Amino acid sequence: MFKKLDILDEKDPHLRKKSTEVTFPLSKEDKKLIQRAIDHLTYSQIEEYEKKYDLRPGMGLAFPQLGLNKRIIVIVHEIDDETFDNYVVINPKIISESEEIIAAEVGEGCLSVNREVEGHVPRHARVTIEGYDEEGNKIRVRAREELSIAFQHEIDHLDGILFYDRIDPKKPFYREDEIRLI
């Protein structure tokens, strides 16, 4: 039985705290919450379930958004129509990033920010992330374009940063010749 997650609003102080490293083995509660996050994100991207369960579409969640300041992120990336790749990364670190900077043309959104925020968020076009899977095995993920943006967005949550903190108030929008918009 699917039960929608309680996602904290941007005003909650949990979202501004730096999260702590996770130790292994993971607790049963953390493993259950990871699975619930995967279900929530998957359903939110399938129109039929999005409407049925009144979900806002989203592809990523960080544990601080659930009130737990632990360095765990979950990303559900739609690679084909209703076909998804799931990424669960514990204690993620960006170990390399491209010089090329991109931004989502329509801007970024966040399941904790229940309002429209205008502006482009500059992100690296490609990143390599290292961390651990749910069993404590070291993993490495190479992400590009939209997936790269998602990883940077979720890792920011672990450091108390919200996407709109990265929008330049003096220059919220970029032209295509200044930054590649995707």
CA nearest neighbour of 90 among 103, 74, 77: 74
Q: What is the pLDDT of residues 129-168, one digit of tens each?
A: 999 999 999 999 999 999 999 999 999 999 999 999 999 9
CB 45 within 8 A of CB 61: no
CB 77 within 8 A of CB 84: yes
As a whole number, the mean pLDDT across the chain is: 97
> Residue 1: pLDDT above 90?
no
Could you give the CA distance from residue 73 to residue 62 in angstroms, rounded to a whole number?
A: 4
For this structure, is 108 an active site residue?
no
What is the CATH architecture assignment of 13-181? Alpha-Beta Complex (3.90)
Could you give the CA distance from residue 48 to residue 117 in angstroms, rounded to a whole number?
A: 26
What is the per-residue pLDDT for 76? 98
- Residues 6+ away with beta carbon under 8 Å from 12: 67, 112
At 34, the pLDDT band (50, 70, 90 cuts) reads very high
Catalytic residue among 78, 105, 135, 154: 154
Strands 101-103, 180-181: pairing kind: parallel
